[in-house]
Amino acid sequence: MINNKKVIVIMPAYNAEKTLKITYDEIYKDFVDEVILVDDNSQDDTKRISKELNITTIVHKENKGYGGNQKSCYKAALKAGADIVVMLHPDYQYTPKLIPAIVSMMAFEQYDAVLASRMLGNSALKGGMPFYKFLANKFLTCFENIFTGEKLSEYHTGFRGFTREVLEKLPLEDCDNDFIFDNEMIALLFYNDYKIGEISCPTKYFKEASSINFARSCKYGLGVLAVSIKYRLAKLGLKSKIFKSDAKRLNLSEEIEFF
């Protein structure tokens, strides 16, 4: 715990057998009360390794997508009594050593959410991010800042933390089940006037680190543009799906099957 806040790290996993242990071993267990991994019907030994590491493990019987996986992660963390939830990809692209810093920014009630940015400190290219992804990240972030009126350095990091209040109140159930879920979540944070903090984070690109292919990257990019435009229209009064007052929050009554 930090400042009497229960901290849970969630790991949305898919085929992470080669990097799960090294990622888990770098988590400072003194700061984290529990680690929960949701295996999205992996085709390797991710779930077996997770159990061997004594990680609380949930296994989807069918693949639900990256966003669908996160929904299961957040539901499990909230049911376990988390006050603060940190999402950490088990592919070792982000360093778990920053978890105490991320948590502290929320535990002492300075921020409602914290993003670990690869764009602060120029660590992205140094860590091996492909140049085309770097340019796309910069362009999309600039576009989003214009349409949201905010000034984040990056919207596309997979290393992020949230308070319990955020996860309970945002209409995450109606968000997409694919990669655009991440972007919709940030848009909802701004739309509901939550405070987002950022921290500089080094990154590592290597063969075993998960990364979406070019085609899916293009689909994601178009989705980002669409979310930004819908956000601006919602601010002007033209509501759509997740920006409506009757959008659905996470359903915590659903049963969770542990592995």
In a domain, 249, yes or no: no
Does 256 fall in a domain? no
The total number of structural domains in the chain stands at 1
Residues 209-223: b if buried by 16+ CB within 10 A, e if exposed? bbeeeeeebeebbeb
For residue 38, the enclosing domain spans 7-243
Least Cα distance to 92 among 211, 215, 214 occurs for: 211
Per-residue pLDDT of the chain (259 residues; tens, 9 = 90+): 899 999 999 999 999 999 999 999 999 999 999 999 999 999 999 999 999 999 999 999 999 999 999 999 999 999 999 999 999 999 999 999 999 999 999 999 999 999 999 999 877 888 888 898 999 999 999 999 999 999 999 999 999 999 999 999 999 999 999 999 999 999 999 999 999 999 999 988 887 666 677 788 899 999 999 999 999 999 999 999 999 999 999 999 887 878 8
Q: How far apart are CA 215 and CA 221, in angstroms?
A: 10
The CATH number given to whatever domain includes residue 189 is: 3.90.550.10
250 falls within a domain? no
Residue 119 covered by a domain: yes
**Residue 258 in domain:** no
